[in-house]
Structure 1
Amino acid sequence: MPLPAPQARSHLHTRAVVFRGYHREDGLWDIEAELTDTKTYALERFERGDMPPGTPIHGMAIRATVDDTMTIREIATSMDYTPFGECQQGTDPMQQMVGVTMGPGWRQAIERALGGIRGCTHLRELLFNMATAAYQTIPTYRDRLRRQAGLPEPESTTPPHHLGKCIAWDFDGPVVQRRHPKFAGWQPLKRKA
């Protein structure tokens, strides 16, 4: 459903963000993210001089190579366009994310390693959502490969991580009842104090 018609306005800024997931021949996975910021008008910046409309202010990319558990094995970063030369210092700290798993605690791990002045705001923003892109890439494709091989669905005594995290995946809702009936109405066990 489209957005309602807007009031009269002028387009000034575009932030384009793209995530892509790849399965590598060596069995690992590459999750890539790109961010570009552009203006529709010319800018004059002390650091970069005259910038015609459409010149990227930010142009950054990350490639995280992960294993089947979504643990980062390698990370590569490029910053082709930045507002300041000092922004390039944000690439090296990204190596601190090697060994971190994209899953529960992901955002906290990013903040611990790269928060504040320890890293680049825009690279952190890309990292936040790379876990979602990895989740959209890896389990779905692994399920496809399992089905193509005629293998049964693995048994689990705990619900998939995404259940209970979205209105559609409510444990008491119709989607869980249809897709994961054994977890319909599921409640986590309460720990004894």
Structure 2
Amino acid sequence: MALPPAHPERQLKHRRSIDVAVYACGHGLWEVEARLVDVKTRDYPLAGGIRQAGDPVHDMTLRLVIDEQMNILAAGAHTEWMPYPGHCNAYGDAYGRLVGLNLMHRFRQGVKERLGGIQGCTHLTEMAQVLPTAVVQAFAGEVLDTQENGQAQTDQQPFQIDRCHALRSDGEAVRQFYPRWYRPDTSADGTSSPLTPQTSK
């Protein structure tokens, strides 16, 4: 589906930027740093005064230390710009509660349970939801085997298969690029059968 056409007279009023960077630290450790910045194009009245156009309404950073199994070993957050100084940033060590979660196993549910609602900052908690797929991208080809390298004699499929609509195991992309793992849909109701590796022709 194509994008709706952009209105020729539209005017930018607000921009939210989310930047996620993933760093290799050696010895199997990685840092995940996510930053959220909200900026308005006009002077903006806040309870504590006017925020000038171009100055952030929010500028906050969440940092995790993870291992190569995507377990969170350390976590914390810092808020530099906020609408209510002394209040928005009074979450203390709340984001340390992310320690012990795994980015690939019930992570989003764990974030909601530990930091949802008044337990944390809405924006930091919401931003945490994008981290699993960002880390998968960082790990692809380095930690995660996405090309079956060295897997010819195993029954372990490449990580990304059956994790999105394009790479479903009964789809054309898998048939073309990962033929060993292609599994045509032969069920009457369209439900795929358990995955078994296919022999390439």
Instruction: Go from structure 1 to structure 2 and tell me whether the alpha carbon gap of 1:87 and 1:75 turns closer, same or farther (over 3 Å shift).
Output: same
Structure 2 residue 193 is matched with structure 1 residue 187: yes
1:29 and 1:138 in contact (8 A); partners too: no
- Which 5+ residue runs of structure 2 have no aligned equivalent? 184-191, 196-201
Structure of higher RCO (CA pairs closer than 8 Å, 6+ residues apart): 1
Matched, 1:127 2:125: no
The aligned runs of 1:54-65 (5 Å cut-off) are 54-65=54-65
Q: Per the alignment, in what secondary structure is the counterpart of residue 4 of structure 1? A: coil
Distance of 2:153 and 2:121 partners within structure 1: 41
Q: Secondary structure at the match of 1:141?
A: coil
Distance 1:71 1:97 in 2: 10
Whether contact under 8 Å (2:47, 2:83) holds in the other structure is no
Residue of structure 2 in register with 1:68 after alignment: 68
In structure 2, the partner of 1:8 is 9
> Alpha carbon RMSD of aligned pairs, Å?
2.6
CA-to-partner distance for each residue in 1:51-95, whole Å, 9 max, x for gaps?
110111110111111001000011121100111131113342111
**Consecutive unaligned residues in structure 1, runs of 5 or more:** none
TM-score by length of 1: 0.83
Assess if the C-alpha contact under 8 Å between 2:76 and 2:93 holds in 1: no
1:32–1:130: 8 Å Cα contact kept in structure 2? no
Are 1:36 and 2:24 an aligned pair? no
Check whether the contact 2:57–2:83 (CA below 8 A) recurs between aligned residues: yes
Identity of aligned residues (%): 30
More helix by share: 1
Q: Taking structure 1 as reference, are residues 83 and 178 closer, same or farther at Cα in structure 2, changes over 3 Å only? A: same
Displacement of 1:44 in angstroms is 2.5
Q: TM-score, normalized by length of structure 2?
A: 0.80
Report the CA distance between 1:3 and its aligned residue. Answer: 6.6
Shift of 1:2: 7.8
- Where 1:107 maps in the other structure, the secondary structure is helix
